[in-house]
Amino acid sequence: MSDAIRIALIGATGLIGTTVIGQCIGREDVRLTGIARREMKLPRGIRMELFVAEPAKWGEVIEAIRPTALICALGTTWKKAGEEEAAFRAVDLDLVLETAQAAKKLNVERFVHVSSAGADPMSGKFYLKVKGEVERELTKMRFGRLDILRPGLLVGKREGDRRPAERFGIAAAPLGNLLLHGSYRRFRAIRSDSVAQAALALAKRAARGRFVHDNDGILRAAKTLPQIEHEAT
């Protein structure tokens, strides 16, 4: 484990966060530490630490674990935010940026952020506007390496908050993907496994700079993560 990279995971209880944890089962090249606001059941076979703390204390946790990279999979949904813009911004913008600022202050070199296809601070759509504003502010922080992932519709097992429109989109994803070409390819559905694998692979890269990955880029990055053989149970 001496050559393992120490990675902090914010947003450990969400779809991408739990998938990142699952992808780390059996890995000897990663030392994963999750940071969350609530307790969660960890999958069998995972070797990791989980710190449960209020967001105001997350900086102290980051300082204690001293990660080389931080994967930010933090985010809420319009429904969970009570369909209020301020509540949505409080998590998807304010909390993300506060965490990033703490990481930067503590000299975390690499920051991997899961954003969204279509993110644009000038967008007329509130969700995409907020995502774009976050990307813009993260860029200003000048991490040694910043990776921004822009997945389309995420497909994976999510606990209990699938919205009807989202469930329909997932069911129609195979057909929808066939119809999305050119610049619209970025909106194709993508499996959470692929996004999690890409996040881990990119967190391990040392080359400096800012890198933005759409669906195709995410899939390419995911393929570079060495696969682990899991024992049958």
Specify the pLDDT at position 120: 96
Phi, psi of 96 (to 5 degrees): -60, -45
pLDDT above 70 coverage of the chain, percent: 84
- The architecture in CATH of the region 5-222 reads 3-Layer(aba) Sandwich (3.40)
Compute the half-sphere exposure of residue 61: CA atoms within 13 Å on the CB side of its CA. 22
Distance CA 64, CA 129 (A): 34
- Reference 188, options 164, 230, 218; nearest CA is 218
Size of the chain, expressed as the number of residues it contains? 233
Q: Give the three-class secondary structure for 8.
A: strand
Quickly count: other Cβ atoms within 10 Å of residue 33's Cβ.
20
Label residue 198 by pLDDT band (50, 70, 90).
very high
Specify the pLDDT at position 168: 44
Distance CA 94, CA 97 (A): 5
- Stated pTM of the model: 0.88
Specify the pLDDT at position 229: 66
Specify the pLDDT at position 66: 96
List pLDDT tens digits, range 132-170.
999 999 999 999 999 999 999 898 876 655 555 545 444
Tokens of 38: 């609530």
Residue tagged 């930010």 (tokens): 72
Tokens of 188: 């194709």
Label residue 233 by pLDDT band (50, 70, 90).
very low
Distance CA 228, CA 212 (A): 26
Question: Could you give the maximum distance between any two Cα atoms of the chain, in Å?
Answer: 49
- Ranking 52-61, 104-113, 123-132, 167-176 by mean pLDDT, the lowest is 167-176
List pLDDT tens digits, range 10-68.
999 999 999 999 999 999 999 999 999 999 999 999 999 999 999 999 999 999 999 99
Specify the pLDDT at position 72: 98
**E strand spans, 12-118:** 30-36, 49-52, 69-72, 110-114
